[in-house]
Structure 1
């Protein structure tokens, strides 16, 4: 009997020890974006606090003191285990996430919170079944606010104004469209933007208004052309390493997913929208008439410039096994229907 009791006690201790190992996990977040930017302190950091709260302290997230990987290697860093959690735009790795290019087309994002809810549902219905991001755990998929045209000295009022202008772009979809309008696209990350603008390396850039203040480059921008719905939108992910995910207990994984997915996607998109509205008001106040809304002829020319890109995307989507026209139509209708319910 004593031997039997010892065996039971030993097994219990072993299982208890294993349960602790499975439950107590510290995750490394790849901190490449400014830590004081609202997307971090009001968005991701609050989410990390929620993770710790819903798991009763068993799962913690710690931002890295310096970048574990550049934004262009964000996804790969999580895939390989260099980082455990990452957030960033899909477009920083051109060609790697073909399906996400759908939301980069113009005039699709009037409210990033609404569009992010639609995007999460489109991802779950169309993109995830193709195996997209199978190598990681997807915690959220959201969009940023629509980008406007921000110029140093000369404004963009007509399609011809693009000719010869050196424009910083962050995605190949946007770059190809601008090139067709006669602009010279120059690739560059947000961390390079201040140098590009201050030294006159570029004539302008495409950004959501809030990023001018978030990256403190508003003093270099003197002309803005607002594109209703955005000349582009960024697709962004929040992902976790699969091996680290498996080390978290089933109970805690369930708790984390309850605050992730659509809820987290909407939260990030809504933050973008709210801060973009505030930034727009500041720009209008400081620039006056130099903050203009695009004319119908300019909007039409921009729309035409993306036609080739849309056609290519439909072809690439077909190769991925989905009907691109159907997916885009589903996304657009969701945005309209969700907007009407608010």
Structure 2
């Protein structure tokens, strides 16, 4: 049985490097009854925003993408994309899977989720000037990956430009955007450290400026059509353990990826907690707005926000 796996990353990116050993493990534990055919960088066709629907429709058996590329389709998990929620990808990914089991089943009922995770702490990168205060965002055209990061950038004073990750390189090189929000791992994977001069990072110990939610999902009919012993192989290699392992790999990727930008001679600055206090007030305002929006759609918005914060605290506890 060949499982067609679609994702948007180039083969040098961490996401691709993670799916390869996962596929090898699936093959080994199924005695080669299940093997992957991986289509990196959207080689299966379509766009990153279409990966989820490709899985629903069976064009791909397994897909890896961001729910946020389909604004409004997955309100439940958006809570983890609010500003200043995440501190570490591993612990946030653990919290995210547990949260999904309680609140996300309806949004993702058309697929068999295998993992939910976030990336390492998102930072601000640009070519105009260092971002040291909120006022430094004014006048910058900044790429954002999700609906809520668009809103955050706008409220911080930038002109937010929404686009999927693969479009960022051309947008930066042509000056369509001045900068972008991305975690460290993706910057050198897309060779963006060669196109970017300034990197502004939240201070150590502070929650991330932002993070984005990813889902690794399997076509539901494909999964349900498996014999019990092959379902067990999939089940044993999915869920909270896989989500946490992916998140941990993203955490570990940040320092070596950052070092490539250091080696390129780029400029760095750390934004102190005293400054980001006012930024976090913007995040709190966006959280209140989010609660109102999802509550109007029939979700228990405040309960979901409170539970997400509780789970983050639970999984971050020593």
- Normalising by structure 2, we get a TM-score of 0.91
Q: Name the residue aligned to 1:9.
A: none
Question: 2:7 touches 2:48 (CA, 8 Å); kept in 1?
Answer: no
Please report how far the alpha carbon of residue 322 of structure 1 lies from its aligned counterpart in structure 2 after TM superposition: 4.3
Question: 1:146 touches 1:233 (CA, 8 Å); kept in 2?
Answer: yes
Please report how far the alpha carbon of residue 277 of structure 1 lies from its aligned counterpart in structure 2 after TM superposition: 2.6
1:264-318 per-position Cα deviation (integer Å, ceiling 9, x unaligned): 1111111111101322344456557x31111345413322333443123212433
- Give the Cα–Cα distance (whole angstroms) in 1 for the partners of residues 315 and 286 of structure 2: 27
Of the three residues 291, 296, 313, the one matched with 1:314 is 291
Is residue 155 of structure 2 the alignment partner of residue 177 of structure 1?
A: no
Of the three residues 115, 132, 138, the one matched with 2:107 is 132
Alignment of 1:34-73 (within 5 A): 34-41=10-17, 43-64=18-39, 66-73=43-50
Of the three residues 85, 89, 107, the one matched with 2:62 is 85
Of the three residues 178, 185, 193, the one matched with 1:203 is 178
Secondary structure of 1:229's counterpart equals coil
Is residue 13 of structure 2 the alignment partner of residue 26 of structure 1?
A: no
Structure-2 change in CA distance of 1:84 and 1:34 (3 Å)? same
Structure-2 change in CA distance of 1:287 and 1:104 (3 Å)? farther
Query: Number of matched residues?
Result: 313
Is residue 241 of structure 2 the alignment partner of residue 263 of structure 1?
A: yes
Question: 2:64 touches 2:214 (CA, 8 Å); kept in 1?
Answer: yes
Please report how far the alpha carbon of residue 259 of structure 1 lies from its aligned counterpart in structure 2 after TM superposition: 1.4
Structure-2 change in CA distance of 1:110 and 1:32 (3 Å)? same
Question: 1:32 touches 1:69 (CA, 8 Å); kept in 2?
Answer: no
The gaps in structure 2 that reach 5 residues or longer are: none
Secondary structure of 2:185's counterpart equals helix
Of the three residues 85, 89, 92, the one matched with 1:112 is 89
| More helix per residue | 1
Is residue 213 of structure 2 the alignment partner of residue 235 of structure 1?
A: yes
1:170-223 per-position Cα deviation (integer Å, ceiling 9, x unaligned): 112111121123211112222111111122221111111121111111012211
Q: Name the residue aligned to 1:252.
A: 230
Please report how far the alpha carbon of residue 151 of structure 1 lies from its aligned counterpart in structure 2 after TM superposition: 1.1
1:105-135 per-position Cα deviation (integer Å, ceiling 9, x unaligned): 122222101110111011112222xx12111
Secondary structure of 1:306's counterpart equals helix
In the TM superposition, structure 1's runs of 4+ consecutive aligned residues that sit over 6 Å from their partners are none
Please report how far the alpha carbon of residue 39 of structure 1 lies from its aligned counterpart in structure 2 after TM superposition: 1.8
1:137-181 per-position Cα deviation (integer Å, ceiling 9, x unaligned): 111111111211101131111111111111111112111121123
1:208-254 per-position Cα deviation (integer Å, ceiling 9, x unaligned): 11211111110122111112322111101011111211221111102
1:15-69 per-position Cα deviation (integer Å, ceiling 9, x unaligned): xxxxxxxxxx21111143112212212x111111111122111111111371333
- Give the Cα–Cα distance (whole angstroms) in 1 for the partners of residues 259 and 302 of structure 2: 36
- Give the Cα–Cα distance (whole angstroms) in 2 for the partners of residues 185 and 119 of structure 1: 26
Of the three residues 297, 301, 311, the one matched with 2:278 is 301
- Give the Cα–Cα distance (whole angstroms) in 2 for the partners of residues 181 and 31 of structure 1: 31
Q: Name the residue aligned to 1:101.
A: 78
The gaps in structure 1 that reach 5 residues or longer are: 1-24
- Normalising by structure 1, we get a TM-score of 0.85
- Give the Cα–Cα distance (whole angstroms) in 2 for the partners of residues 224 and 141 of structure 1: 28
Of the three residues 267, 272, 275, the one matched with 2:253 is 275
Find the structure with the greater CA-based Rg.
Answer: 1
- Give the Cα–Cα distance (whole angstroms) in 2 for the partners of residues 142 and 282 of structure 1: 24
- Give the Cα–Cα distance (whole angstroms) in 1 for the partners of residues 112 and 138 of structure 2: 43
